[in-house]
Structure 1
C-alpha cells in the first residue's frame, strides 16, 4: 500500500491510499471511524458510482476513464476504474487500486491552493470528469473518418463492426457519467467555492453532451450505412430484374420454335430463322424503349 498524507489547509489532511489490503483498510477505518459497510464497498473494484453519509462521514465513489485499447470492451468496469473518497471537515481519504496521474498533479501543483476539503473534492471530481474528454474527441474523429468513407462510397465491408465498437464505448461512457450524477450532486461546498463547484457541474454537462453527440452521430451513420447497403441490394435486384424481363419473351419465342413439331410452316421456310431473330430483336428494342420512357434505365 502506498499512502500519502498531506496537510493542505489548517487542521485538514489529505490521505491518498493506493491498492490497500483488507487489513490495512481495517486499520484505516478504526483510525478515522469509517463505517465497515462503506469500507467494504470501497474495496470492490467493480462498484458503481454512489454517495452515502454515515456516522458523520461522507462517502462517494467515482469512476474515471482508464480503458486499455488492447483489451475487449464489454462493461463499465472494462472502461473505467474506481476512486473511493471519504471526507469530513477534518480529513479527506482517497482510495484507488493503481496510481492516477491527475492525483499526482494535484498533490504537486494545486494542493496549496485548496481552501477546504470540499474544494479539494471538487478539484478531484473535475479531474475525474476531464479523463472522459480525450476519448470522446477520439471517438468523434473516428465517426468523422467513417462518415467521409461512407459518403465517398469507399467504406470497408466491416465498417458496421467498427461503428458498433464506437457506439458501445460511447454508450458505456455516457452511462457511467449519468451514474455519477448522484454523487456529484451531493457535493456541497463552503462559501466562496461556488465557482469551482459550477465549473465541475459544467464539466459534467460538457462530457455528457460530447458522448450524446457521438452516440447520435454514430447511430445516424449506422442507419446511413444500412440504407446504402439496402440501396446496393436494390440496385443488384433491379439489374437482375431487367435482365429477366428482357430474356423472358426471348426465351418464350425460342421455346416455341424449339418444339420442332412437323407441321410448323416456319420451319420449312428459308426466311423462318432470320424472321425469328428479327422478331426477337424487335421485342428487345420495344422493351428497351419502354424502360427508357419509364426512366428505369
Structure 2
C-alpha cells in the first residue's frame, strides 16, 4: 500500500517536479565530501547543502555524496547551483526510475540500483544516482550505508590509482563498487537456490515449498530488472565520445561492461534454475498423485471380481445350482482367495507393486 501511495505522489505533476517516491521519508540529510588530487586530500562531513558549493568550484577533484532523497529542497538547491536539468532532479528523487544514462553537454547523469540482503535475508534495492561534471561527481542515495567504503579507503591512500586520475575514473570506481557487490549478491542467490533444491528433494511436496519457490522467483525477477538495463548504460558510457570521459577510463569501462555481462548471465542461469525447480516440484506432486491412483486402482482391480462373486451368490433365488451344496461356502472362499493371490502375483510380476 505504501509503495502505491508513493508512486501516486508523482502522478499529475509537471515534468521536472521533484517528488520523492521511496519509503525512507524520515532519513536525515547527511553529506560527505572528498576533495583530492594526487598530492592533496580533504574529507568533510556536512549537514547543510550550501556548504558543498565551494568544493564543486575547487581545483581538485571532488566527490560529494548526499544521503537522504527525501530532502527534495536540498536536491533542488544543489541542482540549481550546478545548473542540472529539472528532469535530472526529478529522476534523482524517483526511486522507481530504471537504470539509465542521460548525456548533456556539461555533465553525464547515471542511474543504477544498489542491491543487498538485509539481516533477515530480505532483498533491498536502493536507488543511486550519479552526476559527472567538470572535475566533480555528485552521488545521491536514499539513506546512509552503501558499498563505497573500498572507494573511500582508496581515496585516503596516497598510493591509490584513483588519486592520480580524473572525475571520470572516480565515476567508474563507484560504479565498479556497485557491480562488485552484485557478485556477492549473486553468490548468495546461488547458495539460496542450492538450499531450496536440497529442501525440495528432502521434503518433497511440503506445503511451504511452493511459497518459497514463488517468493524466490520474484526476487530473481527484481534483481534481473535492476541489473539488466545496466548493460546498456555501461556500454553507452564506454562508447561515448563525451568530453568528460577519457580514453584511459574507457578501457576500465570496457572491463566493467564484461563484469555486467557476467552478472546478467548468472542471473539468467539462476532464473532458469528456479523455473526448473518449479517443474521438479510439480512433477513430484504429479508422481505422488500417480502413486496414490495406482494403489487405488490395484485395490479396485482386486476387489472387483470378488465383489462380482459375492454379488452373484448374494442373490435371493431358490433354484441356484450351488445353493444347497454342502461345501459351497468353502469352495467360494477358496475361489476368492485364489483370485486375490493370483492378482497380487500378477501385479508384482508386472512391477506394478
**Fold-level match, TM-score > 0.5?**
yes
Q: Describe how 1:48-197 pairs up with structure 2 within 5 A.
A: 48-68=98-118, 70=120, 79-110=124-155, 113-114=161-162, 115-152=165-202, 156-188=206-238, 189-197=245-253
Distance 2:119 2:268 in 1: 21
Are 1:14 and 2:84 matched, yes or no? Answer: no
Select between 148-157 and 241-250 the one with higher mean Cα deviation: 148-157
Question: Counterpart of 2:11?
Answer: none
Q: Find the aligned partners of 2:146 and 2:235 in 1 and give their Cα distance.
A: 25
Change (3 A) 1:164 1:207: same
Match of 2:84 in 1: 34
CA distance in 2 between counterparts of 1:63 and 1:99 reads: 15
Pick the aligned partner of 1:5 from 29, 33, 43. 33
CA displacement, residues 64-103 of structure 1 (integer Å, 9 cap, x when unaligned): 1045465977xxxxx4111111112322111112123322
Q: CA deviation at 1:194?
A: 4.1
Q: Which residue of the partner structure matches residue 215 of structure 1?
A: 271
Equivalent residues of 1:58, 1:88 under 8 A apart: yes
Looking at structure 2, the residues matched to 147 and 23 of structure 1 have their Cα atoms a distance apart, in angstroms, of: 49
| Structure 2 unpaired stretches of 5+ | 1-28, 38-58, 239-244
- Describe the shift of the 1:72–1:134 C-alpha distance in structure 2 as closer, same or farther (beyond 3 A): closer
Listed as ranges, the gaps of 5+ residues in structure 1 are 74-78
Give the corresponding residue for 1:279: 335
**Aligned alpha-carbon RMSD (Å):** 2.3
Specify whether residues 236 and 66 from structure 1 end up closer, same or farther in structure 2 by C-alpha distance, changes over 3 A only. same
**Alpha-carbon shift at residue 240 of structure 1 (Å):** 0.5
Q: State the alpha-carbon separation in 1 of the partners of residues 196 and 108 from structure 2.
A: 45
CA shift, 1:149, in A, is 3.8
8 Å contact 2:62–2:137 — kept in the other structure? yes
1:258 aligns to 2:327 (yes or no): no
Distance in 2, Cα, partners of 1:198 & 1:55: 23
Query: 1:91 and 1:218 mapped to 2: Cα distance?
Result: 43
After TM superposition, give the deviation of residue 206 of structure 1 in Å: 2.2
More off after superposition, 259-268 vs 121-130: 259-268
- Tell me the CA shift for residue 55 of structure 1: 4.4
**Post-superposition shift, 1:105?**
3.5
Q: How many residues align?
A: 292
Match of 1:267 among 293, 301, 323: 323
- Give me the whole-angstrom Cα distance separating, in 2, the residues matched to 1:253 and 1:154: 41
Structure richer in helix, relative to its length: 1
